[in-house]
Structure 1
Amino acid sequence: FRTAAETAWRVLESGGSELDAVERGCGQCEIDQCDGSVGYGGSPDESGETTLDAMIMDGNTMEVGAVADLRRVKNAIGVARKVIEYTKHTLLVGESASLFAVRMGFPYEDLTTQKSLSLFSEWLNRSCQPNYWKVQCSDGNKTFDCSGLTSFPVLFSCGFNAKSAGSNKASKVCVLFSTVHCRRVGDSPIAGAGSYADSTAGGAAATGDGDIMMRFLPSYQAVEYMRMGTDPTVACQKVISRIQKYAPKFFGAIVCANTTGSYGAACNKIPGFTQFHFMVSNPLLSQPTEQVVDCI
């Protein structure tokens, strides 16, 4: 998501805070819809509605603001930021999150698009059950092929800022996520699952099958590995390997960065997913660049 990375980096270059940067970057992805996995018009739930999850975390104060099952409000990450600023809570959900958003000045907007309506219509016409059921497609007599209709909610990691090597500027690590989901809460608004930040150690953000990954708190675990001095790449690999023991076919990846500016990533190798692509920005680069790692 190059545009989102560019947006976030421009905020940092202009002197904006890390929280401002990740909020603006992720907000840009919500507007652009990125690859269709972020923001309005994403995969509809079993009633045809698109709802949103988002989380933002301050690695200095350890404050977290998150929303889940947010309805009729497009700027999910903006609402999550307001949870930090205006409440003592960590996570607001469903209609309560939407009502809070309106009180904060966010307008009600339709999150449905022609694409999401088409996905829902095709889903119904194929007699597919909601995609979180273990038996995905059946009319009671035979099973239907629903490939392409049951997709994992892919999360967007806006990234984190860490102190550059050789710099004396105090570092602050922030991570953020936003995603669509299917009438359930995935890992993206859960601190330690979808993302985690601690300015004394680093930050991590996970993406993929949130229903599997949230059981292992991969982002928290990766940060703890880095706290013990583990290289970010190795920390990412250790987290993926830990999940592999229980779910060898899971779809997922994680990005890690420590407070010296080192970073790394890892992903689980399955058919159709053998590499993971992510964006990197730092003062030595004229613009965000795409990095690729081979899955393990």
Structure 2
Amino acid sequence: MTWATIATWRMSYEGVQTASKMLQEGKSSGDAVEKLINQVEAYPYYKSVGYGGLPNEEGIVEMDAAFMDGDTLAQGAVGGIQNVKHAVSVARSLSQQHYNSFRVGAGATKYALLHGFEITNMLTERAKARWQKQLQEQQSRNLSAYNGHDTVGAITLDNNNSMAVATSTSGLFMKKAGRIGDSPLSGSGFYVDSEIGGAAATGLGEDIMKGCLSYEIVQKMGAGQSPQQACDQAVYSFVHKLKKRYGKAGEFSLIALNNKGEWGVATNVEFTFSIASEQQKPQILIAHPAQQQTTKIEPVTQDWLDAYEKRIKAPLE
């Protein structure tokens, strides 16, 4: 028996610590991954997820989230849900339903209201101020609206060899109303099969969903590749294909975990992620694309961590 968890970005670290304690205590992979994501969703300084997440062009926070059970393959997802503190918990609840398990917009919000999920105004004063500043800069300097799209995605393995995956995001900053990215889409933003492993994505959803990379990585692991081999082959070959055939490729990164507790990561940008397992204490690592379609991975420095904390909490000018 072994347990492990991996999640995208520095913002998941505290959630990974919480999930690792739960997994050590024998809690289920589903409970651990939900609690991990909940912790990110509740923190107001993470501007791409949950409370304090950056809004669409109309100033409304629309959130996407998903949950998948690797034992049963049951999935639930929400897109464009509003005023709900924990979108991933709504997605998990929906995964228990055979029909109507993916709800969007008003239908998703209504489901959350009727089933007692915590309702709150998700637009913090800080996020509102950032939105107003962006509007002014677009008008005065003709800047691109789209400059933030980080998803928290996490995979867990528990001591019963059960796995789960979940995602949550407020999506692309200044997106058009109703826009949905890859995060709630099975096979693109996430996928898990307890007999093999799981994967999750973060980055520009419009490009991630062109490749169904999460599903592809799981299939490669099922064919015998290690999580790192599967990530490297799936991600870098797709980046090449997208640039050749579509003309460009946005930023994206993927994480993977197999049912042995081994993990892998591939990215086309600088990318941080958090891990913990029976063999590894919770840790933040940083990845970069390297030569010959491989990934360079190393621990983050204290200087990097200090700069990160200063940046996310800096007063808005």
TM-score by length of 2: 0.80
Take 1:290 and 1:250, find their aligned partners in 2: how far apart are those partners? Answer: 24
The DSSP-based 3-state class of the residue aligned with 2:59 is: coil
Take 2:131 and 2:98, find their aligned partners in 1: how far apart are those partners? Answer: 36
* 1:174 is the counterpart of 2:171: no
Corresponding position of 2:191: 196
Where do 1:225-236 residues align within 5 Å?
225-236=220-231
Where do 1:112-261 residues align within 5 Å?
112-128=123-139, 144-146=141-143, 149-161=145-157, 170-181=160-171, 182=175, 183=177, 184-244=179-239, 245-247=241-243, 248-261=248-261
Take 1:43 and 1:252, find their aligned partners in 2: how far apart are those partners? Answer: 19
Report the alpha carbon displacement of residue 108 of structure 1 after superposing the two structures with TM: 2.6
Report the alpha carbon displacement of residue 15 of structure 1 after superposing the two structures with TM: 2.0
Corresponding position of 2:99: 88
Q: Give the counterpart letter for 1:126 in structure 2.
A: E
Farther-moved stretch of structure 1 (223-232 vs 6-15): 6-15
Farther-moved stretch of structure 1 (241-250 vs 54-63): 241-250
- 5+ residue gaps, structure 2: 1-11, 291-317
TM-score by length of 1: 0.85
Where do 1:98-109 residues align within 5 Å?
98-109=109-120
Corresponding position of 1:264: 264
Where do 1:57-76 residues align within 5 Å?
57-76=68-87
Q: Is the 8 A contact 2:257 2:263 kept in 1?
A: yes
Q: Is the 8 A contact 1:4 1:158 kept in 2?
A: no
Q: Give the counterpart letter for 1:146 in structure 2.
A: L
Q: Is the 8 A contact 1:276 1:295 kept in 2?
A: no
* 1:291 is the counterpart of 2:302: no
Take 1:16 and 1:6, find their aligned partners in 2: how far apart are those partners? Answer: 14
CA separation of 1:200 and 1:87: change in aligned 2, threshold 3 A: closer
The DSSP-based 3-state class of the residue aligned with 1:295 is: strand
Report the alpha carbon displacement of residue 259 of structure 1 after superposing the two structures with TM: 1.3
Q: Is the 8 A contact 2:50 2:169 kept in 1?
A: yes
The DSSP-based 3-state class of the residue aligned with 1:159 is: strand
Take 2:116 and 2:238, find their aligned partners in 1: how far apart are those partners? Answer: 41
Identity of aligned residues (%): 31
CA separation of 1:292 and 1:126: change in aligned 2, threshold 3 A: closer
Take 1:52 and 1:211, find their aligned partners in 2: how far apart are those partners? Answer: 16
Take 1:32 and 1:8, find their aligned partners in 2: how far apart are those partners? Answer: 16
Corresponding position of 2:4: none
The DSSP-based 3-state class of the residue aligned with 1:264 is: strand
Deviations 1:220-269 (A, max 9, x none): 0000000000111111011212321213542011111111111110101x
- 5+ residue gaps, structure 1: 129-142, 163-168
The DSSP-based 3-state class of the residue aligned with 2:170 is: strand
Moved over 6 A (4+): none
Corresponding position of 1:30: 41
Superposed CA RMSD in Å reads 1.8
Take 1:126 and 1:292, find their aligned partners in 2: how far apart are those partners? Answer: 31
The DSSP-based 3-state class of the residue aligned with 2:219 is: helix
Q: Which has the higher contact order (CA 8 A, sep 6+)?
A: 2
Corresponding position of 1:166: none
The DSSP-based 3-state class of the residue aligned with 1:41 is: coil
Report the alpha carbon displacement of residue 49 of structure 1 after superposing the two structures with TM: 0.6
Corresponding position of 1:110: 121
Take 2:16 and 2:160, find their aligned partners in 1: how far apart are those partners? Answer: 22
Report the alpha carbon displacement of residue 68 of structure 1 after superposing the two structures with TM: 0.6
The DSSP-based 3-state class of the residue aligned with 1:49 is: coil
CA separation of 1:105 and 1:87: change in aligned 2, threshold 3 A: farther
